[in-house]
Amino acid sequence: MKKLLALLLTAVMVAGLFTACAKEEATGTTTDTATTDSATTADDTATTDSASTDDGKIVIGFSQIGAESGWRTAETDSVIAAADADPNIELIFSDAQQKQENQIKAIRNFIAQEVDVIALAPVVESGWETVLGEAKEAGIPVVLLDRGIVTEDESLYVTFMGSDFIVEGELAAQYIIDKFGEDAEVNIVELQGTVGASAATDRMTGFASAIAGLSGYEIIKSQTGDFTRSKGKEVMEAFLKSDGEMIDVVYAHNDDMALGAIQAIEEYGLVPGVDIIIVSIDGVVGAFEAIADGKMNCTVECTPLLGPGLMEVAQTLVDGGTVERWIKSNDRVFADEAAVEELPNRVY
């Protein structure tokens, strides 16, 4: 009996051992399967969230400088409206709030999302080599909007869409020369755009070169107003405080700074557009209204309506076509009565 009981106990223990092993093996298989399924799901989700979808749409990542002026807002509106109107386009928009680091972060996000085209309005000219090199390596073409960059590697972007800022500066200077005459003595104060921005650098260069041979023309003060109305007013107040009655002309790199300067001049007790001639660049509605009111004299057009053109360029690039290295805007000069006549036609 004792031997029989021992044999029975042994059999029970062996059976229990086999059952435990079977459960452990079954549990291990379930875990591996779950891990595999989970990884597949994660990969599928990443593909679904990617900007490059399979619906045939062209995905454009647009890094905008910010909303520092009416002109800048008009450009943003133009791009968004053009994208909305095109069923083949999907736009991812990023507002950098005038910080280059925000634009670099946005571009890297665009690369991660595998967009088809990157559109960049660069806040400054330099410092883009690394991030645009990453876009190039990813095979994503970069289109520069309204501002250029300085780089030794010209292949980092495929085209620049925008105006010739040097010519704009020359046109602004020519209006002043025509108004006063080449032999006049003219004291000019200059409200510069954002330091390091191509628009500011080139508009300063163009203006300076146009008056270089005229001994009576002198820029007595020059300082950045950061392309904003409030800063333009602040800097003009300082100019008036130091040089007041000596100032003949204000040359502003954009209309918003000029409008700020007009406020400062009025508060100082002088008549803008009469006591001090106001010449600017951009061609926004506010400038045309100021000219109509006699408070401003001239604005050189720099169109922000680049949206439709950007959509065409994106389509061409995705289709494997080529575009011009510089797609130039057609800018015009509006002064005095010509500006008043044009006012009803302005859309920005």
For 58-76, write each residue's pLDDT tens digit. Answer: 999 999 999 988 899 999 9
Q: Which residues contact 27 (CB under 8 A, 6 or more apart)?
A: none
Q: What is the pLDDT of residue 54?
A: 57
Percent of the chain with pLDDT over 70: 84
Q: Please, is 129 exposed, middle or buried when counting C-beta atoms within 10 Å of its C-beta (0-12, 13-18, 19+)? A: middle
Contact in structure between 258 and 249 (CB atoms under 8 Å): no
Instruction: Give the tens place of pLDDT for each residue, 102-154.
Output: 999 999 999 999 999 999 999 999 999 999 999 999 999 999 999 999 999 99
Q: Which of 9-23, 200-214, 284-298 has the lowest mean pLDDT?
A: 9-23
When pLDDT is cut at 50, 70 and 90, the band that residue 17 belongs to is very low
Q: What would the mean pLDDT of 297-309 be, rounded to a whole number?
A: 97
Q: Which residues contact 74 (CB under 8 A, 6 or more apart)?
A: 284, 304, 305, 348
Q: What would the mean pLDDT of 37-58 be, rounded to a whole number?
A: 45
Backbone phi, then psi, for 164, in 5-degree steps? -90, 100
End-to-end CA distance of the chain: 106
Instruction: Give the tens place of pLDDT for each residue, 313-334.
Output: 999 999 999 999 999 998 899 9
Length of the chain: 348
Instruction: Give the tens place of pLDDT for each residue, 183-214.
Output: 999 999 999 999 999 999 999 999 999 999 99
d(CA 204, CA 194): 11
Instruction: Give the tens place of pLDDT for each residue, 21-42.
Output: 333 333 333 333 333 332 322 2
49-88: burial string, b at 16+ Cβ within 10 Å, e else: eebeeeeebbbbbbbbbbebbbbbbbbbebbeebbeebee
Closest CA to 159 of 148, 170, 167, 151: 148
Closest CA to 194 of 123, 135, 142: 123
Q: Is the pLDDT at 13 greater than 60, yes or no?
A: no
Tokens matching residue 344 = 């009803």
Instruction: Give the tens place of pLDDT for each residue, 216-271.
Output: 999 999 999 999 999 999 999 999 999 999 999 999 999 999 999 999 999 999 99
Q: What is the pLDDT of residue 298?
A: 98
Whole-prediction pTM value?
0.80
When pLDDT is cut at 50, 70 and 90, the band that residue 53 belongs to is low
Q: What is the pLDDT of residue 42?
A: 28
Average pLDDT value for the chain? 87
In order of their start, the domains of the chain are 58-162+305-328 (3.40.50.2300), 165-302 (3.40.50.2300)
Q: Is the pLDDT at 20 greater than 50, yes or no?
A: no
- Map residue 290 onto helix, strand or coil: helix
Q: Is the pLDDT at 49 greater than 90, yes or no?
A: no
